[in-house]
Amino acid sequence: MREGLDEKDRSIVAFLQTDPEVSHREIAAQVRLSQPSVSARIARLRKMGYLAIQAGVDVSEVGLTLAKVDIATPDPAALLDTFRGCPLLVNAILTSGRANLTMFFVGETAEHLQAVVDVHLRPLADVEILDFQFVTGSIRPWVLPVSMIAGRCDRTQCGFLCPSCRYYREDRCTGCPATIHYKGRFWRS
């Protein structure tokens, strides 16, 4: 059985949620503990899996568009394996109900994301149902682990050749940032 959080632990986590860069000294003063005690509690919370601090970017602040794609598939693990190396996939969650997989993608434009869905997801035989939505806002800043470094190979991680895509040829898609064909700005080195 996992250990629970006490009031001091909850306060520490709350301070870090508000400002992940707050110093242990500042937290200590607020929760009335010594700085070493706060540091020890933070280390324990991380070790227990109750606290994780994730670096990423606020997609709305850097000008990226975020899409949520709900999918019904008989084998969500296989679909995830297909996209595991995709620099545009920021996260995926298994769900219950009609759709059993939700994937979050970022792109430089709405058309870029439309191309990802139409060219890379809809044609897959195991995609039974697909619901594609743009995320238009969030209550809190949504910092996501956007892949900042993309390789430069001829084909996408999923084996696709960008110049063979009509979206790419019609300049409606910037191409995959992991390829030499990428013509966008965000992942430019």
pLDDT tens per residue, range 24-49: 999 999 999 999 999 999 999 999 98
Q: What is the pLDDT of residue 1?
A: 39
The pLDDT value recorded for residue 65 is 94
Tally Cβ neighbours within 10 Å of residue 154.
10
Alpha carbons 80 and 78: distance in angstroms, whole number: 5
Token pair for 157: 């991680």
Q: What is the mean pLDDT of the chain?
A: 91
Q: Which CATH number fits domain 7-48: 2.60.40, 1.25.40, 2.20.25, 1.10.10?
A: 1.10.10
Q: Where are the beta strands (DSSP E) in 18-88?
A: 57-58, 65-72
Q: In this model, does residue 54 exceed pLDDT 80? A: yes
Q: How does DSSP classify residue 179?
A: B
Residue 3 has pLDDT above 70, yes or no: no
pLDDT value of residue 148: 81
Q: Which helix or strand (DSSP H or E) is residue 53 part of? A: none
Task: Give per-residue pLDDT as tens, 56-110.
Answer: 898 888 889 999 999 999 999 999 999 988 999 999 999 998 899 999 999 999 9
pLDDT, residue 8, reads: 93
Pick the CATH number of 57-147 from 3.20.19.10, 1.10.3080.10, 3.40.470.10, 3.30.70.920: 3.30.70.920
Structural domain spans, the chain: 7-48, 57-147
Strand intervals (E) in the chain: 57-58, 65-72, 89-94, 101-107, 129-135, 143-144
